[in-house]
Amino acid sequence: MSGEQIRQEAHALIDTMPSYQMAAVLGLLQTMLDPVSQALANAPLDDEPESEAEREAVAASKAWLAQHPGQTISHADVMAEFGLSPQGDEG
């Protein structure tokens, strides 16, 4: 199938979709064409072993959390402080 035939078939399928499906396809296409998304999708898996310093830092943070219940700031609150929603949309 030629590139033009594929394009025509894709257009024909999109024309039959309800709007909520078209919105999902639009989001998919935007993600597929975004260079940052492409770079992330093609990035190698981070398989570097955790260092001793990293393990110690994680253990220290878990210990602090255990000793300070209720003293954390949620991700949503931090995002709101910057005028963003947790989904990344500006609010």
Across the range 30-51, mean pLDDT stands at: 87
The beta strands (E) that lie in the chain are given as none
To the question of pTM greater than 0.75 for the whole model, the response is no
Would you place residue 68 in the very low, low, confident or very high pLDDT band (cuts 50, 70, 90)? very high
Percent residues over pLDDT 70 in the chain: 93
Q: What phi and psi values does residue 68 have, to the nearest 5 degrees?
A: -130, 60
Rounding to the nearest 10 degrees, give the CA dihedral for residues 63, 66, 69, 72. 40
Across the range 37-59, mean pLDDT stands at: 91
Question: How is the chain split into domains, by residue range?
Answer: 3-42, 52-81
Q: What local confidence, expressed as pLDDT, does residue 91 receive?
A: 45
